[in-house]
Each structure stands twice: as C-alpha cells, then as structure tokens.
A and B are shown apart, each in its own frame.
Chain A
C-alpha cells in the first residue's frame, strides 16, 4: 500500500502544476461568491463602529440586522453561490479527465494531452455520473433501513432518544454511503481512461467489480486519504486557533494558513487520483 501511495505521490509531483489548476479553480469560485457578500457587508456596516466589533468575534446585533436589512442582496448571492458551486463541480469534473489521463499515461506534463483529455472524457464522465446516481440512490437507501428497523422494533411512537440515536446512525451510514459512492465514481473514471471504454454503464459495472475484487485495498487507500485530510484540517485548526487575533496581521496570517491548507487539499486530492490510478493499473493491467 505504501508503495502505491509513494508512486501516486511521485506521479502527482511530476504534474505539480495541476495543484495550481485545481487550487485556483476553487479559490476563484469561492471568491466569486464571497466578494459580493463582502461588498454588501461593507456597504451595510463598513462605516459603523459596530463593524469594529467583528475583529473580536461574531456580533449578533450586526448579524441579525445584516440578515434583516440586506435580505434582498443576500438571497441572490446565495442563489448565485449554488449556481457557482454546480459550475465548479462541472469544471473539476472536466479537469479530472486531464489529470487522470496524465497520471495513467505516466508521461511528463503535456498541455495538449491534458486539455485534450479533459475535453475528450468530459461527456463520458457526465454520462458516468448520471449512471452512478443509481448506485448513489441505492447507497442512500441504506440509512432508510434504520428508519424501517426503528419502526419495526419501536413502533410509530418511539422515545425521543431512539429517534435521536437512530438519527446519528443514519448519518454515519449516510457518510459511509457517500464515501463508497465517491470511490465508485473515481474508479469508474479511471476505468474509462484506462480502457478507453465508451459505454459508461460498462465502466461503472467494471468499477464496481474492481472494488468488490480488491475491496480491502481500495477502501484502505481511500481511508488513508480521508484521514490525512482530516488530520491536516486539525493541524490547520490548531495553528489557526493559536493565531486567532483581532489585528490585521493575525488575520492575514490566518488567511495565508487557510490558503496553504487549501493547496494541501488540492495536492491531496490529486495524489488520491494518482494513487487510485496506480492501484488500478497494478491489479488490472499488470
């Protein structure tokens, strides 16, 4: 497993500029959502002494009034945010075609190959996504089993703590379901790229078969990346908490730290793609 991650890391590093592609796509999308919000807040409170309180913590009065009196601005911004998020998702789906192709080919960075593959696989990835929704649907039905079980065991009128804890269990199952779904979608894409499969349904099926056949390894790999991301976040959070202050310098430092973390996340994500490709190639195309 370690060697797979090592190889993955090496392939990612060979194309480290991809980190910037993903990072900037993320940053620009987020900025497009946040900048209008910042402008609205500046317009509303930029010249109020109350805005100064924001340096020390969230101010409920300001928040309450901002939401009440800037509702007409906030609504469209949120709507735009949802739209931007969807576009961002499509964009990363597009970029993933190029990235996965580069990782699969093991070649040096080649702009034509990257962008060409991004365009070439985008349609297939979209179709794969639509088919994979079936898998998602089945996985999301899992938590409903808990609801059903709860009904069967405790009846229509369960104690509140039963509803409460079954809610937790549902949430955990839900997270597990999404975790599996993302794996399926990743290996589906890798399968399309590796075999030039045009029938996305087949690719999806083969991805499922692959995951079944190499269940332990596949899950372990995904878990390692998920855990690394979580540990990274806690390290970020720990430092950010230490740095938390009310002056421009600490605010700027935290901003830089946040962006470093996002770079790390982009790198981690790409390493994940690369490692998954390595794993797939190792067992499918020896």
Chain B
C-alpha cells in the first residue's frame, strides 16, 4: 500500500509546480480506467436562491467501432422540474401533492452548447424519452452532431448551464437553507455501448450508469462555506466578491458530487493509506466519533478483504436536519451518511449507512455496473458485504440492534425485509419495471444479499472471497454485467453454478424446506402370521413375541430399551431447489446427518433404532438464510412450551401492568386524535 502515498506526495509536488499555469494535473501516472468522459466544470452556487451557474467542457472519446451522429445527456435535475416529470409521476405524485412552491422545485437548463470549433449545437438539441415516451419528461437531452465522431475519435464540447436545486432535498440531492448537497447536477453524457446510447431517464426507482473519466471542477461558494467533494482539493482562490473558488480534481471516477455549508464541523483522520474527512452538522458533533470509527473500519475492512482502494481520500457528509433525503448515498470518494440526534449506541444505523455507502466505493465506483438495469450487481453485492462486515466487526448476534433485550443482526434485518415480499419479480429487471418500489428494494438489496450469503455458506468462505476478489480484479474500472459475475463465480469455484444463479436472479422462486412430519413407533410387539398369536395383555405380549422368535442377539442384556421405527418427512414448500442437510436427533442422544438434493417435492427418511426421535432439523447449521421460513425447518416430538410460556407470562404481566396505566390509554387516544 505504499504506492498510493507515493502517488499522493508526487501529486502534491506536481500541483505545487504547476499551480500558476493551467497544466494538466495527474494523480495516477497510468490511467486506471478508460477515461471516456472527461469534464472541466466551473460552477458557482447562489446559496440563497440555491441556483447553479455552470460552464462545462466535456471531452468525450469514441471507443466504439461506430461512427456516432448524436450525443445523449442526462439532465437529472429536471426530474424535479414539475409534477409532470416521469420521476414525479412514477412516485405516485408523492411530491406534487404537497403543495409545492416555486422554491421547492429544481431544474437544469442548457443555455448553450458548442463544439470546440465554435459550432452551435443548441438549435437542434431536444429532449427525448427513451423509456416511457412521456413528452413532459426533460431528463434526457439529445444533441445531433453536424459531423459524426469516427471510431477512436474524440469531441470537445462547451456547455453552459443554469440549474436550481430542489429544496428541501429530494431523492439524494438538493438544498436546505445554507446547506446544499449537489449531486446529479451537471449535463452528463450517457454511455455508448452495443451500438447505441444507454441513457435512461431519471426515474423514481433506480440509479445511475456512467463512463469513467477525469474531473476538474472549480466550485465557487461564499467565503464562509466549507466544501466537501469527490476527489482532492488542489487549490483554493479568494475572489473579490466575497466568494472562494475550490478547485477539485479527480481521476478515474464516473461521477462527481459535492456538498457545502458554512456550518459543517470538520474532522480528519487516517485509516491505512486513506485520509478520512468527516463533515458533521453542528448538532451531530457528538456523533463524529461514531462516524469516524465506522468510516475507518470500512476502509480497513474493504482493503483487507477485497483489495486496494486506489484513491487517497474519503469524505463523509452528514446531512442537515430537514434534508434527510440527501443522506445515505454513494459517490466516488464521497458518501452521505444519516443519523438522528440521540440515537442509541446499540442502534447501529449510522454505522450501517456509512459501511454500506463506503462499500459502494467498491461495488459501483470500482465496478461500474448499470444500476438502472442491474441494480443487484452493486446493491446486492454490497448488501452481502454489509452482512459480512457487520458479522465480522460486531459479532453474529445483535450486531445492528441490541436494545431492550431484542437483538437483531444485519442478516436478520435483511431477512425481515426479504420475507415481506419475496416473490413478485426476478432480481434482474429494469428498476422501473418491478412490481413495486418495495419489490425493487427487497429483491435488489435483501434477496441478493441473502442469496450471496447462502452461496458463501454453500461454497465456503475462502472460495467466496476469491470470487469477490477476482470479480473486483477483473472488472475494476469496467462495466460488468450479471453474466460476468456468474462467469467469475463458475470459474473460481470450479463448478457450474448456473442452476443457482438462474433461480436466484432470473426467477421469483422462493426457497422453503420444512420438516413436516416426524414419528416414532414401537415395533417390539410382533403379531400376525409367523409370530405367536396370544391374547395376553400388551406388555406381556411384546415380551413373549420377541422371545418367541428367539431374537437373542438383538435383545442383549444391556439393551432393555424398546425398538422404534421412526420416520422424518422433509418437504420442499417453495419452487427453489437447493441441496439441504437434515439432522435427526434421537432421545438417547444419537445424531444422524442426511443429505438431500432437494429436487423432489418431498423425501422420507426411516430408521429402526433403540430410541425415539426427539427432533429433526433441515439446514441444521443455518447455512441457508434465503429460506423464507426458518421456524418450520425443525420439528420436535414434544411441544416446546417452556420458552413460549416464559414469554407469554411476561406478556401477560405487561398487559396486566398496562391495563392499570390509564396514562397509556390516554396516550394512545391522544396519539390517535393528534
């Protein structure tokens, strides 16, 4: 990990040498990514009106083998332009119903667009709606070119734009009073692949997709403001009008976000070779330690577990009160957190957000999948990482909630979400095409995370780690697709795992194995033909009959126990097929393990033993968190009433106690009325 600090120091030297000139800055001597879309942007924030005025120079390289006649740009801020945008319509008008005033909406207008040669492209530019033909949606701009860009060729465009941030922030970005989270804010070119532009509109569900590049961004804000942004701050310049221009430089990233506020309180620390800068809100300062610790743990864990984080720094933005929607999001080298004043230590939600969002600096910022078309590829993989990290850092039980005797782990938290809506869609599907927002979230995050955890338990942790590292290694700074991940998994594990991924990713099948019946029946009493027929009482009979066949070898002296024929029936209640283990425990302590490929609807195991079955459990080692019903995984002969009685007697007491608390009822009624 020495190379990065070397690069970092070398970079500072370069900067010092060339500060006065307009020379090219350089972080990585050899580009880490293809650097297709490169931006130089000057942007000025009016922190009262929440408007942006920007001048962007885009240098775009045609790495395809096509002649390209047009460009397509995302104008994400137009999602908040009015109540006719696809974003607002998709949201079931959640925002438009709140009587929005002028200051609440946001927009972006391209005021001019010219080529390097000065040719004006504005007259022919127009909005298109590739996803839903909603003519009112202005989130994708099509710009026809006078001359095509040849394969291997490049184009330089000068774009001027005016924008306004929504207030308060909506869906990741916007402003609130003096605070601004500026994301998805500049005209951003789509991805040209497979002979066409991939440039989705901004929808209510689903996220982003972009090519890597180099960003030089000059951010002008009021002098008193503190700025946090993607990349490294190269210089700062005081202007005569009471503003300061912060110059940020980032390489091999596919997005650029920034935030500013005069009220940020800055904390700086180091984790391995990464500098961490936390910008806290004043009223969250007492949680800065929690933020910093989580960020440091995240950096160290991911570097140690999955591979190098190539960037020199990480900035954590703490959203302002009233700007919650700008929290919990990932950008290259910058993440937004989320918390609330007074949140208990053992409720690790702030930690979860930071660990999760930093995870995206691997799964999404290093492996730049299409989040709109294959959200699972970063959200699911990242959720799997999150489950692991919580397990490893905070222990397997109660690692996310440990309050009032209730312990919930991140794994359980994900299961809780998953079983609420497990089967409406396959995982691989365009975000907006899911049954509901809930289904999109449940499947892209929870189910995917649980499926990869199940796969890890199936293959073994070492193999799974190898898969993850290989995937990261092979697809670093590229655009992986679902099949690429499957190919890596097959190749590294040396197995064909298509059967697993087909079910997980391309079907809505639900996994549920259950022990549906267990029985043990004494077979000592032998009657009928071949056995002595007698009318004596049952107990006498069984002795006589055994004796009559002269089975002296089986009925040895030390073994006076009865013989039982026992059976266990395991059923597959869902359509997801997965090999399972079965553990059968007998009353004398004997334990038997069985394996079943899980293909048939059911299977029955029978035993003839000197003991009855006590209980049987399918998946006894809890290797399959994807199983939607764990309670039915085991079956006992006797009713397990002790524990239930314990809780029910507590419940009884709680109800008794509450019944005599009129305060409680007044509180409930007041709540209902108020």
A interface residues with partner B (beta carbon < 8 Å): 26-27, 29-31, 33-34, 37-38, 41-42, 44-58, 60-66, 68-69, 81, 85, 88-89, 136, 140, 157, 159-161, 163-164, 174-175, 178, 181-182, 246-248, 251, 254-255, 258, 261-262, 265, 269
- Chain A residues touching B, majority SS: helix
A42 x B639 contact (CB < 8 A): yes
B647 x A157 contact (CB < 8 A): no
Let me know if B587 is at the binding interface, CB within 8 A. Answer: no
**Stretch binding the partner chain, chosen from B221-229, B267-275, B353-361, B407-415:** B407-415
Given A60-B407, A64-B419, is A89 in contact with B647 using a C-beta cutoff of 8 Å?
A: no
Given A65-B630, A178-B663, is A159 in contact with B283 using a C-beta cutoff of 8 Å?
A: yes
Point out the residues of chain B lying under 8 angstroms from A265, CB to CB: 657, 660
Please give me the residue from chain A that is nearest to B340 by CB atom.
Answer: A160
Q: How far is the CA of A88 from the CA of B655 in the complex (A)?
A: 12
Point out the residues of chain A lying under 8 angstroms from B644, CB to CB: 38, 41-42, 45-46, 51, 54
Q: B12 CB to closest chain A CB, in angstroms?
A: 38
Please give me the residue from chain B that is nearest to A67 by CB atom.
Answer: B416
Q: How far is the CA of A85 from the CA of B664 in the complex (A)?
A: 11
5 more CB-based (< 8 A) A-B contacts, given A42-B641, A44-B631, A88-B659: A29-B659, A33-B655, A50-B631, A52-B636, A178-B663
Point out the residues of chain B lying under 8 angstroms from A66, CB to CB: 631
Q: How far is the CA of A175 from the CA of B666 in the complex (A)?
A: 10
A38 x B419 contact (CB < 8 A): no
Q: How far is the CA of A258 from the CA of B654 in the complex (A)?
A: 10
B656 x A65 contact (CB < 8 A): no
Let me know if B645 is at the binding interface, CB within 8 A. Answer: yes
Choice from B282, B322, B651, B662 contacting A157 with Cβ under 8 Å: B322
B649 x A46 contact (CB < 8 A): no
Point out the residues of chain B lying under 8 angstroms from A164, CB to CB: 341-342
Given A60-B407, A262-B656, is A51 in contact with B643 using a C-beta cutoff of 8 Å?
A: yes
B636 x A57 contact (CB < 8 A): no
Please give me the residue from chain A that is nearest to B404 by CB atom.
Answer: A58
B640 x A64 contact (CB < 8 A): no
Please give me the residue from chain A that is nearest to B662 by CB atom.
Answer: A182
B647 x A65 contact (CB < 8 A): no
B659 x A37 contact (CB < 8 A): no
Q: How far is the CA of A52 from the CA of B637 in the complex (A)?
A: 13
Q: A60 CB to closest chain B CB, in angstroms?
A: 5
Choice from A29, A33, A251, A254 contacting B642 with Cβ under 8 Å: A251
Point out the residues of chain B lying under 8 angstroms from A56, CB to CB: 643
A136 x B412 contact (CB < 8 A): no
Q: How far is the CA of A178 from the CA of B663 in the complex (A)?
A: 6
Please give me the residue from chain B that is nearest to A168 by CB atom.
Answer: B342
Point out the residues of chain A lying under 8 angstroms from B321, CB to CB: 157, 159-160
Given A57-B407, A159-B282, A262-B653, is A48 in contact with B648 using a C-beta cutoff of 8 Å?
A: no
B656 x A27 contact (CB < 8 A): yes
Let me know if B238 is at the binding interface, CB within 8 A. Answer: no
Pick 15 A–B contacts, CB within 8 A, sort by A.
A45-B631, A45-B640, A46-B639, A46-B641, A47-B639, A48-B636, A51-B641, A52-B642, A54-B642, A58-B647, A60-B406, A62-B631, A65-B631, A159-B321, A246-B646
Q: How far is the CA of A185 from the CA of B632 in the complex (A)?
A: 51
Point out the residues of chain B lying under 8 angstroms from A29, CB to CB: 655, 659
A48 x B634 contact (CB < 8 A): yes
Q: How far is the CA of A37 from the CA of B629 in the complex (A)?
A: 20
